[in-house]
Each structure stands twice: as structure tokens, then as C-alpha cells.
């Protein structure tokens, strides 16, 4: 659910001349412009978002229900031609609103079937529909756009967005934290989840993989093939993924702990030999994680290995992405754990990233402990011995202010240490009750850190605010916890 804006523009976002108040009935007759009488109810422009680390990512004034993304991609020239339909509900009366879109040329925008005015300001696509949108109304925005998509470089120097593969056979679209704006005009924040349908038309002989299930594969003329994918569970935009190239595709099924048949689809780049021993172990990983965290939250699972040299794996929903050479088993354990923590139970603000990475790292410790490696308690002892001057302890996992620290050691390792310290404090039984209740209560929802603290307090019957403060918010090695 989106936050509702307080109204007014965020400093730094230019108010463009065409963005003027329009009446709710949209009666902006030529010549009557200056005399248009506004209704007493405010009709505000929607604005950009309010994330503490990525303030221009995400928008206010509406709640997206669904994205229909229609892509046509030619690897040889790295050219994208796209039409995206965004179906949203206005959370207030809107004279204009923003979508996030980085690069590409927009040729047309329609809202409710009528041509709309639009302008660009950095990665904001600002849309003024012909008629204002009433609060509570469902409205459809169709954006036609294309060109050479951007590789987005993050504050920490890593690449995301639309990344062509090393072999030149295609590209992969990756979006954490903000790269999805390179290919979907969107409310690009984890807090606005929506359904997603992606179709990708590519030259014959090239395949296209995305999230969820493959609905159809159809010929388009003599030279192109269209792949249609669908995610029925809501998805945060940063977890949307497309991988285009040549893959060896394998399918399997997995029977979940609550009796559902989960469809597994793996796609491994043929340049990688077309197989990955670690990905083949996915059923065993799902089984172990269901034992710790409760039922797998989606109907689809799998993985994609592609030769994009980004240097990281990503928990793209239902189908994590693994870079060139394929993952280790530990990485599969990590990205699969994110399906519960991050993908199903999602952040509201990037500041709470430890709720993703601390948990996925802890899952790796649980796996190693049950497969002949270090137990979580042993991981704790080893890491806790790190000197107080180590970069593990500072900045603290929740109080860093530089977005370059989003994927730093404190978030991952001090985050996982926090969970082991919690386990030692409240006991193993209550600890797993907390994890499973968290996954169940907030399935397909959005959370904030304070809700986790409250749940742990409720399950254990103890006050834990000071404990979590010391572990997550003080930029020093915790002592005497």
C-alpha cells in the first residue's frame, strides 16, 4: 500500500508549466483556462516518493494494481521497443502524477484512453491527464517508449538496469534497488506491490525468461517469437527480471509442505554448459527452508544463469538471477530464502534492508549447520571475535545514511548476528515461531522494522527495544547484549 502524499512538490523536482490545477470534471475549455473554478476539494499533483535512501524512486498519489509490460528486443542492436500499461487506483484526486523511467524515449502517453501531456525530469516521467483523476478511481496509463536502455550504476559501483550479456546473445534486466526504471515506467519502490505480466518478443532462436509462469510462446511473423510470462502474486518492481539469450531450460515440480505443486523452471545459459549442479538442488533447499520458515510463498520457483558480469546474484521473484559461471549452493540457499524474506515479506523503506539480507544470510548459516558445516552459533562466535574496529560493526545496519552501504557487511553479517543473538536471548523455539509468524502474517505484504521488534516481543513476552537498538542502530560492536 502506498503512502498518501502530503501534497506539494518535493524540493528539486521542477514544477512544469503544464502542470496546473484542473477541475475534477476536466473542463479545460480553451480560453477559459484562467477562469476555471476549482472545486473546494483539493486536486493536487502526485509527487515523487519518500524513501529515506532513494527519495526520487517511487511516487505518491496512487497505488499500482498491475503492470502489463510488452517488450520487443533486438540483441544485435540493443534496441528496445515497449508499451507498458499501468493500472492504478488514485489515493487522492490527481491533476498529474509521476512514474519512474530512466532513459529511453517516450513517444506517447494515454490515460483512460485519452492522450495525456507528459514531460521528463531526470528519472521522473510526469504525466498530466486530459482530465483530473478522482480519488478512489482506477485508471489505466499506457506508455509507448523505446530506444537503447540504460545500464544504471549504483552508489556502490555495481551495475543494474538493462545489462547486455558478455556474449552479445541478449541482455538481463535487474532492478535492485532502482534499476527497473530502466525498462518499466513504474512506481519504483518496494512498498507498492502489483501483479505483473511481461511479454518479450525476440528474434527466432533467442529465448526470453521472466518471473512467474510461462503462459505462451507464439510466433510473430516469420522471424520473431513472443514469450508471455505472468506473476499472479504481487511483486515489488525491483524483483522483476527479464533474461534474454540462449538457455537450456529444465522443468520439475516440487510438493510444498502444505501440499501444493510448485512449478520449477530453470534456465541456464548454454555458454555455461546449460546446467548448474547447485540449481539442481533447489528442491532440497526448498524443503529445508519450508522446515524453518513455513510454506514457500509462491506457485513458481527456479533460477536463471546468464552471462552478465554484474558480480552479484539477485533474488528476482520466483526465479533468482545468477551471474556468469552459476551459483554456489550457499548462494542458492541465500536467494531462495529471500523468496520468504524480501520477496513475499517486503520492505516499505530501503533503510530496513537488514530484514532482507540479515535473514537470507542467516538461512545460509542454518543450511551449513545442518549440512556438516559451521552452525549458526559457530558462525556467531567466529564473527563476534572480529575486532571492534572492523568494518563489520560500522555503520550500523539500520542507521547508515550512504546508499553505497546498502549491501555492506553490517547489513548482511551484523544483520545475521542480530538474529543469532535474538535466538540466544529468547530461545530456539520462540525464535523459529517468530520467523514463521513473520512470514505468515506478512505474506505478500510490506513491513517495517518496528513490526518485527513488536512481534519478537509478543512471542517471547520480553522487552526487546533496547536489544534491537544496540544490535541494529548503534555504530559500535554490541557488548553485553
- The interface partner of residue 74, options being Zn ion, ligand TRP, none and the CB cut-off 5 to 8 Å by kind, is none
- The interface partner of residue 405, options being Zn ion, ligand TRP, none and the CB cut-off 5 to 8 Å by kind, is none
- The interface partner of residue 314, options being ligand TRP, Zn ion, none and the CB cut-off 5 to 8 Å by kind, is ligand TRP
- The interface partner of residue 432, options being Zn ion, ligand TRP, none and the CB cut-off 5 to 8 Å by kind, is none
- Is residue 76 classed exposed, middle or buried when 0-12, 13-18 and 19+ CB atoms within 10 A define those classes? exposed
Report, in Å, the least distance between residue 50 CB and ligand TRP: 22
- The interface partner of residue 158, options being Zn ion, ligand TRP, none and the CB cut-off 5 to 8 Å by kind, is ligand TRP
Is there a contact between 171 and 73 (Cβ–Cβ < 8 Å)?
Answer: yes
Q: At what angle do helices 354-370 and 282-293 cross, to 10 degrees?
A: 110
- Selection from 102, 132, 107, 128 nearest residue 117 by Cα: 128
Report, in Å, the least distance between residue 357 CB and ligand TRP: 6
239 binds Zn ion (CB under 5 A): no
Report, in Å, the least distance between residue 407 CB and Zn ion: 8
Lay out the site mask for Zn ion across 306-345 (x = CB under 5 A, - = otherwise): ----------------------------------------
Report, in Å, the least distance between residue 349 CB and ligand TRP: 16
Per-position b or e across 161-189, b if 16+ CB within 10 A of its CB: bbbbbebebbbbbbbbbbbbbbbbbbbbb
Nearer to Zn ion (CB atom), residue 132 or residue 235: 235
Q: At what angle do helices 376-384 and 415-426 cross, to 10 degrees?
A: 120
- Selection from 193, 109, 123 nearest residue 161 by Cα: 123
Report, in Å, the least distance between residue 397 CB and Zn ion: 13
Which segments of 30-187 are extended strands (E)? 44-45, 62-74, 79-90, 94-100, 105-111, 114-115, 117-121, 124-128, 138-147, 151-153, 159-164, 171-174
Nearer to ligand TRP (CB atom), residue 158 or residue 270: 158
360 binds Zn ion (CB under 5 A): yes
- The interface partner of residue 100, options being ligand TRP, Zn ion, none and the CB cut-off 5 to 8 Å by kind, is none
Report, in Å, the least distance between residue 338 CB and ligand TRP: 6
Report the C-alpha gap between 396 and 341 in whole angstroms. 20
Residues contacting Zn ion: total by CB under 5 A: 2
Start-to-end Cα distance in the chain: 35
Nearer to Zn ion (CB atom), residue 80 or residue 347: 347
Report, in Å, the least distance between residue 160 CB and ligand TRP: 6
Distance of CA 1 to the CA centre of its chain: 14
Nearer to Zn ion (CB atom), residue 345 or residue 470: 345
Which of the stretches 261-269, 349-357, 386-394, 457-465 binds Zn ion when contact is defined by CB under 5 A?
349-357
Report, in Å, the least distance between residue 315 CB and Zn ion: 6
Which stretches of 294-414 are DSSP H helices? 329-338, 354-370, 376-384, 409
Contacting residues toward ligand TRP, per CB under 6 A:
156, 158, 176, 312-315, 334-335, 357, 407
Got the DSSP string for 254-270? EE-TTS-EEEEEEEEEG
| Binding stretches for Zn ion (CB under 5 A) | 357, 360
Amino acid at each position: 500500500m502506498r503512502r498518501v502524499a502530503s501534497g506539494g512538490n518535493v524540493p528539486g523536482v521542477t514544477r512544469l508549466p503544464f502542470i496546473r490545477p484542473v477541475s475534477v470534471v476536466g473542463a479545460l475549455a480553451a480560453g477559459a483556462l484562467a477562469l476555471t473554478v476549482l472545486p473546494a476539494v483539493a486536486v493536487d499533483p502526485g509527487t515523487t516518493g519518500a524513501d529515506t535512501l532513494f527519495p526520487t524512486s517511487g511516487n505518491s498519489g496512487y497505488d499500482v494494481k498491475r503492470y502489463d509490460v510488452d517488450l520487443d528486443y533486438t540483441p544485435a542492436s540493443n534496441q528496445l521497443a515497449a508499451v507498458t500499461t499501468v493500472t492504478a487506483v488514485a489515493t487522492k484526486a490527481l491533476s498529474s502524477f509521476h512514474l519512474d523511467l530512466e532513459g529511453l524515449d517516450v513517444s506517447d502517453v494515454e490515460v483512460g484512453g485519452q492522450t495525456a501531456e507528459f514531460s521528463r525530469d531526470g528519472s521522473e516521467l510526469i504525466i498530466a491527464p486530459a482530465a483530473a483523476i478522482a480519488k478512489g478511481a482506477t485508471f489505466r496509463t499506457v506508455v509507448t517508449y523505446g530506444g537503447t536502455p540504460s545500464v544504471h550504476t549504483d552508489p556502490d559501483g555495481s551495475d543494474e538496469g538493462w545489462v547486455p550479456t558478455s556474449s552479445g546473445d541478449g541482455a538481463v534486466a535487474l532492478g535492485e534497488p532502482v534499476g527497473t526504471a530502466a525498462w518499466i515506467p513504474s512506481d519504483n519502490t518496494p512498498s507498492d506491490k502489483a501483479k505483473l505480466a511481461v511479454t518479450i518478443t525476440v528474434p527466432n532462436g533467442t529465448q526470453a525468461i521472466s518471473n512467474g509462469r510461462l503462459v505462451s510462446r507464439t510466433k510473430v511473423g516469420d522471424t520473431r517469437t513472443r514469450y508471455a510470462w505472468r506473476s499472479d502474486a504481487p511483486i515489488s518492481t525491483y524483483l522483476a527480471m527479464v533474461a534474454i539469450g540462449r538457455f537450456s531450460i529444465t522443468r520439475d515440480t516440487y510438493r510444498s509442505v502444505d501440499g501444493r505443486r510448485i512449478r520449477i523452471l530453470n534456465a541456464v545459459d548454454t555458454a555455461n554448459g546449460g546446467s548448474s549442479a547447485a540449481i539442481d538442488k533447489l528442491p532440497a533447499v526448498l524443503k529445508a527452508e519450508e522446515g524453518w520458515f513455513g510454506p514457500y510463498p509462491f506457485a513458481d520457483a527456479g533460477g536463471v544463469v546468464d552471462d552478465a558480469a554484474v558480480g552479484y546474484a539477485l533474488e528476482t521473484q520466483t526465479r533468482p538471477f545468477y551471474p556468469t559461471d552459476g551459483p554456489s549452493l550457499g548462494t542458492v540457499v541465500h536467494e531462495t530464502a529471500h523468496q520468504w524474506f524480501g520477496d513475499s515479506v517486503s520492505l516499505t523503506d530501503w533503510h530496513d534492508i537488514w530484514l532482507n539480507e540479515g535473514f537470507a544470510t542467516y538461512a545460509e548459516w542454518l543450511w551449513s549447520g545442518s549440512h556438516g558445516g559451521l552452525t549458526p552459533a559457530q558462525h556467531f562466535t567466529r564473527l563476534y571475535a572480529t575486532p571492534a574496529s572492523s568494518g563489520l560493526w560500522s555503520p550500523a545496519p539500520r542507521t547508515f545514511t550512504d546508499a553505497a552501504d546498502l549491501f555492506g557487511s553490517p547489513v548482511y553479517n551484523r544483520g545475521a548476528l542480530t538474529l543469532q543473538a535474538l535466538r540466544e536471548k529468547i530461545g530456539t523455539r520462540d525464535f523459529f515461531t517468530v520467523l514463521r509468524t513473520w512470514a505468515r502474517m506478512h505474506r505478500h505484504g510490506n513491513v517495517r522494522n518496528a513490526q518485527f521488534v513488536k512481534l519478537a516481543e509478543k512471542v517471547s513476552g520480553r522487552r526487546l527495544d533496547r536489544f534491537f537498538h544496540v544490535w541494529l542502530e548503534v555504530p559500535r560492536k554490541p557488548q553485553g547484549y
